[in-house]
Amino acid sequence: MTTSTTEVLAPPTERYTVLGWLRRNLFGSIGDSILTIIAIWLTYAMLKPSLSWGFSVAKWTVIADNLKLFMVGRYPAEELWRVWVVLYLLAAVVGFTWGAWVKGKEKAGYVLLGIPVFLALLPFSPTIRMMILALDLFGFLGIILGRRDNPKFKNWSIISLLLYFPVGILLIGGLTGETGFLPTVKPDLWGGLMLTILLAVIGIIFSFPIGVALALGRQSKLPIISWFSVGVIELVRGVPLITILFMMDLMLPLFLPAEIRVEGVIRAFVAITLFSAAYMAENVRGGLQAIPRGQYEAAHALGLNGFTTMAFIILPQALKAVIPILVSQFIGLLKDTTLVMILSLFDVLGIGKSVLGNPEYVGTAKEVYVFVAALFWVLSYGLSYASQRLETSLGVGER
Amino acid sequence: MSRKLFPVFALLIVLSMVLAACGGAAAPEAPAEEAAAVEAPAEEAAAAPGETEGPAPAASGDTLATVQARGHVICGGNSGVPGFGFLDTEGTFTGFDIDFCKAVAAAVFGDAEAYEIRPLSSQERFTALQSGEIDVLIRNTTWTLSRDTDLGANFVATTFYDGQGFIVRKADGINTLEDLDGGTVCVQTGTTTEANLADTMAARGLSYEPVVYEDVETGWTTYEEGRCDAYTTDKSGLVARQILLTVPDDHVIMDETISKEPLGPVVRHGDDQWFDIVQWTVFATFFAEEHGITAANAGDMMASTANPREKSFFGTEGELGAFLGLDADWAYNVVSQVGNYAEIYDRNLGPDTLTYIPRGLNSLYTDGGLLFAPAWR
């Protein structure tokens, strides 16, 4: 009763049991077995001290007690509701956009909605847990609204996204001076994770158009424009970000009259945007050069002029092609923002260092740095995951 | 011909555009050259305080006017040294150095909260002072001749007398510097501590391997992990931090003191009025302790005192405040809002704190210490 199928496939008992899988994949031969044992031993030897430290030795109270500092830095406690409003707005806007644009893909939506639930499981106080869970509420409301059949909603969602950032900054920064409904919160009080994300997001948003302009400028046939672009790109790319920040910190006051003081946050924004734009320009140029000559010719043949060719034919393809590299640049930028400590700003790492100066928490350096590293990892991985989804839905690499 | 000239012409235009951009607020178009010049203002400011352009070395009276126009004083400070400057859980700066910044704010504005702290690393602190980023540097800074002269800084007074020592593990059996020969020593980079260590070891013909780090907590962690045989910093820092090691009794501070470390506020060269203000603010805290004036009783003392020195201190008699360019009751504001030296010390480094350091040399001269305020007349 031997048929060819039974010869090719192992018996079901071996194929579908743990033991069978183990034998096939981990203990296939003597060499495999030795390697497996060594690997298991190594993993155990490394994990055991880390885990026992993490669960019994580490004093995580330093994180719990200073959570507000890590999240928003020295932002006044009585104005914290504004940060929450900004977060709720984000949930609503993202939900609305999701509802208007994405049909199906329920799984990814559940993942997004699962984030606040997961956060609420962490040992926060009950009020904070409710505040976090409320994010889902706003997200849901956004999705329900977005799902209603209205053809205008797609445009509205883009407008709401564009409006979100200035509104968010206004909410955080304040509007009405010393007193009033939204009193001004001086930028040097912004800090923690909020500042890190703000710097990175604003850096990427502003550097994008500048970078595209520089990339186009570099390809221009007009020598002044192209030389200027090349000059800016090469100068800025030729120095490390830290020198630009040092310049901003220590040299700028020498150029400006004593009465004029530029806020540290603004200096950081300008430095980061400029730095990021130079890299963005080169990345975009790579995308532009990947577009075959035929596309230009076809566009001209259709009667498009230079501007419309760029805007509707070339740039959409070029930008799509460089999405992976733009995302990795964004991730790099996010981590580079830790350098703003030079400008005496308290990003999440700077807050960590200052917390370590508190006599109550000395000796907790490992806890603090592990926490900050974990934050950065989650953010970076989240970004990279999101970009992979974006690439799949845009069909990058499957031309 | 014109074809050849064109690139030159275009280059000139681009250059002028770059230069124009440099003049504006967004200046970093040409950081390559300027980054190298970060060190330069030191020499400029020291060589010709009156000639240098820009706000760096303010002429006499400029700093006070600038500070008053701004509405708050900016102090260069620490953000991560237990007892001297750190962020508490509410996000406010706390510490011995921070309190002296508050004292300056109280003297200038009558409001101890009119200050801003710019946390600085040990390397950038003097550049920040020279460039006018900060008005006064109060950041455990050791008074040395070269800093006082070549770096364009002026030390106003000593707020904390210290000396450099070593902490070692008892089990290692290290008792003298000679025992450290060939060993590793943890030391903070860019400090006088680092230089003292190198000098002393070289003078005694001892070899050692420095393990350098940027911020204090990293250094202690390194030491606790056993990656260096000894940790060196000012003895106050050793005392304060020893009790917080995992097993404090496993460690011992060596008897040897290898340096004098007078720490105090620093201002820029070239503005004597501002120098005087900061200096006499420090003296006011000494004076108040000597005369038993505290934050709690300052108001009563001001109303009831018959002592002419105290009267001029409170500004109820004479016009000493006007000589400084301040309100008559400036010293009262300092003491009532921040406290006298003993109060500042006890709040941050006293027996009730986690960072207890015995006062030692930092007592009044009447108690055998070195704190001595000049005459208030």
| Per-residue 3-state assignment (H helix, E strand, C coil) for chain B | CHHHHHHHHHHHHHHHHHHHHHHCCCCCCCHHHHHHHHHHHHHHHHHCCCCCCCCCCCCCCHHHHHHHHHCCEEEEECCEECCCEEECCCCCEECHHHHHHHHHHHHHHCCCCCEEEEECCCCCHHHHHHCCCCCEECCCCECCHHHHHCCCEEECCCCEEECEEEEEEHHHCCCCHHHHCCEEEEEECCCHHHHHHHHHHHHCCCCEEEEEECCHHHHHHHHHCCCCCEEEEEHHHHHHHHCCCCCHHHEEECCCCCCCEEECCEEECCCHHHHHHHHHHHHHHHHHHHCCCCCCCHHHHHHHCCCHHHHHHHCCCCCHHHHHCCCCCHHHHHHHHCCCHHHHHHHHHCCCCCCCCCCCCCCEHHHCCCECCCCCC
Whole-angstrom Cα distance, residue A284 to residue A203? 16
Q: How many CB atoms lie within 10 A of CB B216?
A: 23
Tell me the C-alpha distance between A195 and A346, whole Å. 8
Question: Which stretches of chain B drop beneath a pLDDT of 70?
Answer: 1-61
Statement to judge: residues A164 and A44 lie in one domain: no
| Claim to verify: residue B370 and residue B271 sit in the same structural domain | yes
Q: Whole domain around residue B210: which residue ranges?
A: 164-259
Q: Which of B53, B79, B186, B247 to mutate to test the interface with A (most CBs of A within 10 A)?
A: B79
* d(C-alpha A136, C-alpha A92), whole Å: 9
- Closest partner residue to B127 (CB to CB) among A75, A228, A250 is A250
Same domain membership, residue B92 and residue B71:
yes
Q: Are residues B267 and B309 in the same domain?
A: yes
Domain co-membership, B144 together with B222 = no
A101 shares a domain with A53: no
A150: CB partners within 8 A, 6+ apart:
none
Kindly state whether residues B90 and B169 are assigned to the same domain.
Answer: no
Contact B132 A69 (CB under 8 A): no
Q: Do B87 and A235 touch (CB under 8 A)?
A: no
B12 reaches A (C-beta below 8 A): no
Distance from CA of B353 to the nearest CA of A (A): 9
Nearest to B31 among A244, A342, A357 (CB): A244
The verdict on B153 and B298 lying in the same domain is yes
Amino acid letter, B247:
V
Q: Is B92 on the interface with A (CB under 8 A)?
A: yes
Burial class (CB in 10 A: 0-12, 13-18, 19+), B271: buried
Of B98, B106, B94, the closest CA to residue B140 belongs to B98
CA distance B99 to B119: 14
Nearest to A59 by CA among A347, A354, A351, A360: A360
B358 and B298 part of one domain: yes
B75 CB-near residues (< 8 Å, 6+ apart): B97, B98, B101, B104, B115, B116, B117, B118, B134, B135, B136, B137, B138
**Cα–chain-centroid distance for residue B112?**
18
Do A276 and A386 share a domain, yes or no? yes
Chain A, chain B: beta-carbon pairs less than 8 Å apart? 179
Distance from CA of B260 to the nearest CA of A (A): 24
Contacts for B376 with CB less than 8 Å, ≥ 6 apart: B287, B309, B310, B312, B313, B320
Reference A329, options A368, A373, A287; nearest CA is A287
* Burial (CB count <10 Å: 0-12, 13-18, 19+), residue B231: buried
* Residues 42-71, chain B, touching A (beta carbon < 8 A): 53-56, 58, 62, 66, 69-70
Contact B88, B347 (CB under 8 A): no
Shared domain for B328 and B249, answered yes or no, is no
Residue A193 lies in a domain: no
In angstroms, the CA A328 to CA A383 distance is 9
Same domain, residue pair A277 and A387:
yes
Tokens of B56: 């760096």
Of the residues B259, B287, B310, which one is the last residue of a structural domain? B259
Of residues A74, A243, A261, nearest to B35 (C-beta): A243
What separation in angstroms does the CA of B133 have from each of B56, B194, B267?
Answer: 8, 26, 12
| Alpha carbon separation from A233 to A240, A283, A309, A340, B82 (Å, rounded) | 13, 11, 24, 22, 43
Q: Are residues A224 and A115 in the same domain?
A: no
Other beta carbons within 10 Å of B249: 9
User: Measured between CB atoms, does A234 come within 8 Å of chain B?
Assistant: no
Asked if B169 and B190 sit in the same domain, the reply is yes
* Contact flag B85-A224 (C-beta cutoff 8 Å): no
Number of domains in chain B: 2
Work out the angle at residue B363's Cα, subtended by the Cα atoms of residues B361 and B368, and round it to the nearest 5 degrees: 75
Specify the pTM: 0.81
Residue of chain A whose alpha carbon sits nearest to that of B223:
A363
Asked if B31 lies within 8 A of A261 by C-beta distance, the reply is no
Burial class (CB in 10 A: 0-12, 13-18, 19+), A156: middle
In a domain, B49, yes or no: no
Per-residue pLDDT of chain A (399 residues; tens, 9 = 90+): 455 555 666 666 666 677 777 887 788 888 889 999 999 999 999 999 999 998 888 888 899 899 999 999 999 888 889 999 999 999 999 888 888 887 777 777 788 888 888 888 887 888 888 888 999 899 889 888 888 877 888 888 889 988 998 899 888 888 777 777 788 888 888 999 999 999 999 898 899 999 999 999 998 899 999 999 999 999 999 999 999 998 888 888 778 876 777 888 889 999 999 999 999 999 999 999 999 999 999 999 999 988 899 889 999 999 888 888 888 899 999 999 999 988 888 999 999 988 888 888 877 888 999 999 999 999 999 888 888 887 887 776 555
Residue B323 CB-density burial (10 A; 0-12 exposed, 13-18 middle, 19+ buried): exposed
Burial class from Cβ neighbours inside 10 Å (0-12, 13-18, 19+) for residue B14 reads buried
Domain shared by A105 and A178, yes or no: yes
pLDDT of residue B35: 37
Q: Are A236 and A378 in a shared domain?
A: yes
Tell me which of B259, B283, B307 is where a domain ends: B259
B166: which strand partners?
B232
Contact present, B305 and B314 (Cβ < 8 Å): yes
| Residues 322-361 of chain A whose Cβ lies under 8 A from any Cβ of chain B | 341-342, 344, 346, 350-351, 353-360
Among the partner residues A65, A68, A235, nearest to B30 by beta-carbon distance: A235
Does A64 touch chain B if contact means CB atoms closer than 8 Å? no
The reply to whether A18 and A110 lie within a common domain is no
Instruction: Tell me how far apart the alpha carbons of residues B31 and A167 are, in angstroms, rounded to a whole number.
Output: 33
CATH number at residue B189: 3.40.190.10
> Is there a domain that residue B208 lies in?
yes
The minimal CB distance from B10 to the residues A224, A354, A358 is found for A224
Backbone dihedral angles phi then psi of residue B210, each to the nearest 5 degrees: -75, 140
Chain B touched by A190 (CB under 8 Å): no
Distance from CA of A344 to the nearest CA of B (A): 5
Query: Half-sphere exposure (CA, 13 Å, Cβ side) for B345?
Result: 22
Q: Which B residues 215-234 touch A at CB under 8 Å?
A: 215-218, 220-221, 224
- Our count of domains for chain A comes to 3
Contacts with B133 from chain A: Cβ below 8 Å: 249-250, 253
Residues B209, B223: Cα–Cα separation, whole Å: 13
Q: What are A233's two structure tokens?
A: 């790109």
pLDDT at residue B46, rounded to an integer? 38
Decide if B43 is inside a domain.
no
Domain boundary among B243, B259, B275: B259
Residue A378 lies in a domain: yes
Q: Which of residues 331-360 of B touch A (CB under 8 A)?
A: 353-355
Measure B364 CA to nearest chain A CA, in Å: 26
Candidates A79, A83, A254, A339: best to mutate against B (most CBs of B within 10 A) is: A254
Dist CA A268 CA A203 (whole Å): 9
Comparing CA positions, the residue from A91, A284, A272 lying closest to residue A197 is A272
**Residue entry with tokens 């530029």:** A262
Question: Are A357 and B221 a contacting pair at CB < 8 A?
Answer: no
Of A239, A250, A271, the CB nearest to B131: A250
Structure token pair of residue B356: 């207890």
Query: A248 lies in which domain range?
Result: 207-399
Q: Determine, for residues A258 and B55 on separate chains, whether the beta-carbon distance falls below 8 Å.
A: yes
Q: Kindly state whether residues B231 and B270 are assigned to the same domain.
A: no
Q: What is d(CA B45, CA B127) in angstroms, rounded to the nearest whole number?
A: 10
Question: Do B193 and B263 form a contact (C-beta atoms < 8 A)?
Answer: no
Cβ contacts of residue A81 below 8 Å, gap of 6+? Answer: none
Token duo for residue A116: 């606040």
What integer pLDDT is reported at residue A12 of this predicted model?
A: 64
In a domain, B65, yes or no: yes
Residue A82 within a domain: yes
